[in-house]
Amino acid sequence: MSIWNFAGRWGAPAPEFAVTMGEGNTPLVRSTTIGRVLGLENLWFKYEGGNPTGSYKDRFAAAAVAHLRAMGKSACLGTSSGNTGAALAAYCARGGLSCHLAIVEGAPESKLRQMRAYGAHLHRIQDFGKSPAVNEAVMTGLRELAQELDAGFEVSAFVHSPLGMAGVKTLGYEIADALAGDPFVVFSPTGGGGLTLAVARAVAESGGTGRVNCVQPAGNDTIATALWTGSNRAVAVESTTTISGLQVGSVLDGHDVIAACRQQGGTGYTVADDVVLDWQARLAREEGIFCEPACAVSMAGVAAALEAGELDPSENIVCLITGVGFKDEQSLAKMAGTKPTSLLPTFADFSAAVRAAL
Ligand SMILES: Cc1ncc(COP(=O)(O)O)c(C=O)c1O
C-alpha cells in the first residue's frame, strides 16, 4: 500500500513516472491513556512518523516529483520549513532530479542535516518564514527563477503546487476509509493551511461524515481565529511561534481552509507554544507517541476544544501526528534532558538502581 493505491482519486501521472518508497498507509492508533484521562472515549492518533523521511510530507513529495518527471524536469526548486525539504530532497534523489531549497530562517539544524544527507542544495534566507514581505519576495522570485531555468517549483500549498498537494489528500482518504461512515472530527496542525485543506477536501469527497478543525500556535494565527469568529478571510502575520513547521506567516491556502472547514462544521483553535511542548512530552510518556512539536499542536487543540465545551466525548476524535520526534533536536533535548546517561561500573549497580526505582 502507498499513496499510489489511491492514484485514481488524487489524479496521479502514469505509473512509469512514480517515485515511491511506500509512503502513506500509516496507522490510526487508539489512545491508551490520554483519552481516558480527558474522558474522551474515542481518541485516535494518525501517526505519520513512519513515512520514509519521517513526516506526512512524503505524500506531497511523491506526488510532486512524479509530476515533475512526467513533465520532463531534471531539477526542482522549492521552499521548506524543514519537512517539505527533507521529503523533496529524498524523492528528488530517488527520481534523479537535483533539488535546490530556500529554507526558512528558523528551521532546526536536525531537519537541515537530513536534507543535506539526501544531497540537496540548501540556502537559509533571513526573515523567510517570519516576515510576510520576505515570504512574498521569496515565492515570487523562486517561481520566476524556476521558469527561467525550466525547473520544477514546489511549495507544499495548493496555491502553488496543486498537483503535489493532491497526494496529501490520501491522508484524509485513509482516515475516512478507516472510520467508515462513523462521524469524526480531525484536529489538524496548521501553518500555511495546505495540510488542513487537503484533509478537509478528502473528507468531504469521502462522503461527509467528518469535519476538520484547524489548530495553530497563537504566534502564527493566520487562519484559526478567523475561522472561529466567522470571518471568511485569513490574515498575514509576523510569525512569532517557536514551533518549527508552523512558522508560516503568509496566507497561502488560508482563505480556502476557512471555507472548506466551515462547510463541514469545523472551526479553529489557537494554542500556546509551552502548552504544545507539554503535550509533546505527554504523548511520548503516556502514549508512546514520539513526535515533533508541530504534531502536539493537534492534541493541544483537542484540550482547548474540550475546555471550551465544544467536543462530544463519545465521538471519534483524530489528532494528526504529522512528523517523528527525531526531527527537532531542540525539543527532544527539552523533553529528554541533555545530561549524558550515566556509566555504571558493574551490573550490581544497575540492579540496585532498578530496585530503587521500582
Ligand atoms: C510536522 C508538520 N505538521 C504540520 C505542518 C503544517 O502544514 P501546512 O503548512 O500545510 O499547514 C507542517 C508544515 O511544514 C509540518 O512540518
Work out the percent of the chain whose per-residue pLDDT is above 70.
100
How far, in Å, CA of 196 to CA of 193, rounded? 5
Residue with cell 532546526: 108
Residue 168: CB within 6 Å of ligand 1?
Answer: no
How far, in Å, CA of 324 to CA of 2, rounded? 19
**Region of residue 259 (phi > 0: left; psi between -120 and 50: alpha; otherwise: beta):** alpha
pLDDT of 272 higher than 80: yes
Which ranges in 231-321 belong to alpha helices (H)? Answer: 254-264, 273-282, 293-307
Give me the pLDDT at residue 227, please: 98
Give me the pLDDT at residue 292, please: 96
Q: What confidence tens digit (pLDDT) does each residue in 35-86 have?
A: 999 999 999 999 999 999 999 999 999 999 999 999 999 999 999 989 999 9
Q: What confidence tens digit (pLDDT) does each residue in 197-215 have?
A: 999 999 999 987 899 999 9
Give me the pLDDT at residue 192, please: 96
The C-alpha angle with vertex 8 and arms to 4 and 267, in degrees rounded to 5, equals: 90
Give me the pLDDT at residue 129, please: 85
Q: What confidence tens digit (pLDDT) does each residue in 294-328 have?
A: 999 999 999 999 999 999 999 999 999 999 999 99
Residue 81: CB within 6 Å of ligand 1?
Answer: yes
CB atoms within 10 A of CB 14: 10
How far, in Å, CA of 154 to CA of 100, rounded? 10
Query: Residues 18-35: what's their mean pLDDT?
Result: 97
In order of start, what are the domains of the chain with their CATH numbers? 3-55+162-336 (3.40.50.1100), 57-154 (3.40.50.1100)
Give me the pLDDT at residue 130, please: 82
Q: Grid coordinates representing 306?
A: 474540550
Give me the pLDDT at residue 1, please: 73
Looking at ligand 1, which residue's alpha carbon is closest to its atom 10? 194
Residue among 51, 111, 112, 156 whose CB has most ligand 1 atoms within 8 A, to mutate: 156
Give me the pLDDT at residue 274, please: 97
How far, in Å, CA of 136 to CA of 87, rounded? 23
The C-alpha angle with vertex 332 and arms to 165 and 91, in degrees rounded to 5, equals: 30
| Residue (of 207, 346, 217, 192) closest to 269 by Cα position | 217
How far, in Å, CA of 222 to CA of 215, rounded? 10
What's the chain's average pLDDT? Answer: 96
Residue 217: CB within 6 Å of ligand 1?
Answer: no
Give me the pLDDT at residue 181, please: 79
Q: Grid coordinates representing 357?
A: 526505582
Q: What confidence tens digit (pLDDT) does each residue in 136-168 have?
A: 999 999 999 999 999 999 999 999 999 999 999
Q: What confidence tens digit (pLDDT) does each residue in 214-240 have?
A: 999 999 999 999 999 999 999 999 999
